[in-house]
Amino acid sequence: MTGRMELDRNKLVVVTGAGGFIGGHLVGELRRRGFERVRAVDVKPADRWYQNHAGVEEVRADLRDADACRDAAAGASTVVNLACDMGGMGFIETHKADCMVSVLINTHLLVAARDAGVERYLFGSSACVYAADKQTDTDVTALREEDAYPAMPEDGYGWEKLFGERMCRHFMEDYGISVRVPRFHNVYGPHGTYDGGREKAPAAICRKVIRAQLDGTNAIEIWGDGKQTRSFTYIDDTIEGIFRLLESDVTEPINIGSSQLVTINELVGIVEGIAGVKLERRYKLDAPQGVRGRNSDNTLIREKLGWEPSTTLEEGLAATYAWIHEQLTSGAHDEAALAFRL
């Protein structure tokens, strides 16, 4: 286990993609932990952010532009880059070019961070960097960090993330920026996208189960045959992992993911149990499915940080289901749930 280097609560922390799902939760936790100076940056207007927090400098900026990155990084001690164009499998399989354009954000922001003398720089990567030939079986072997090479990542989004990781590595080698690179595994939870095409499987399943009850169809459409396997990481674990990584000396890419592997059919069953229903399952075999199986090997994070995500899928889905149910039944319309996250 590595030593802990506590972040200075009085120095400026910049979070990009702060109007998105992970970013919104992270900004809130920074404030709860006593960070006095937080700059939150997103391309969306503030009234379309997933969450807003008091005492935060909120900035609207398109970080694909180099000048915007220089302004965002000015005076910062720590930069957490979560900004990218992304969504669930239905989005990233049909918007490969849009996902790739996000390389501009990390490239310009690294240059800006170098010029501004930023002490720590975190780049939010993804399990989509892992080689596709290691994810062809539902009974998948959990992915270790070294399994990203030889490179064969998810086309579009995965390549953007893998390229971003390499940029961070070389900026650390050449310019001395202290980098952190978490590989997030299917993050879910309240205050996220649950409709509109960018949602991921847990939120989509919760929404479908709720609507099947509300509209009386008592049926659910499942993409693929339901046998594909995944692990899903609750947002609170993800945020805790970010803090632990930032306050460590771990500079190589590291998994932040649950190791609780389930099939999509089992995921549906858990949500049905929470809702107290049993639905007819209709399989859409021609829908985007992604890799056949993916799970997180947590050996390295246990070794380096003495910790790993521990929220069970049953616990996390209960909280997620309750929040989405409230959104769909209270008349509230979450603009951010349908907005582009950059």
Parallel, antiparallel, or unpaired for β 38-42 and 120-123?
unpaired
| CATH numbers and ranges of domains, the chain | 13-186+234-256 (3.40.50.720), 188-230+261-338 (3.90.25.10)
Per-residue pLDDT at 336: 37
Burial of 151: CB neighbours in 10 Å, binned 0-12, 13-18, 19+? middle
Per-residue pLDDT at 342: 32
Per-residue pLDDT at 291: 86
Q: Are 297 and 143 contacting, i.e. CB atoms less than 8 angstroms apart? A: yes
**DSSP-assigned letter for residue 320:** H
Tell which residue, 24, 17, 16, 29, has the closest CA to residue 240. Answer: 29
Per-residue pLDDT at 96: 85
Per-residue pLDDT at 299: 98
Instruction: List per-residue pLDDT tens for the chain, 342 residues long.
Output: 777 788 999 999 999 999 999 999 999 999 999 999 999 999 999 999 999 999 999 999 999 999 999 999 999 999 999 999 766 666 767 778 888 899 999 999 999 999 999 999 999 999 999 999 999 999 999 999 999 999 999 889 999 999 999 999 999 999 999 999 999 999 999 999 898 877 889 999 999 999 999 999 999 999 999 999 999 999 999 999 999 999 999 999 999 999 999 999 999 999 999 999 999 999 999 887 788 999 999 999 999 999 999 999 999 999 999 999 999 998 764 443 343 333
Per-residue pLDDT at 234: 98
Q: What is the per-residue pLDDT across 40-53, written as a single tens digit (0 to 9) for each?
A: 999 999 999 999 99
Per-residue pLDDT at 89: 64
Burial of 150: CB neighbours in 10 Å, binned 0-12, 13-18, 19+? exposed
- Tell me the C-alpha distance between 219 and 227, whole Å: 18
* Helix/strand/coil for 317: helix
Residues tagged active-site: 157
Per-residue pLDDT at 92: 67
Q: Are 283 and 264 contacting, i.e. CB atoms less than 8 angstroms apart? A: no
pTM of structure: 0.93
Tell which residue, 195, 197, 221, 217, has the closest CA to residue 323. Answer: 195
Which amino acid, residue 276?
G
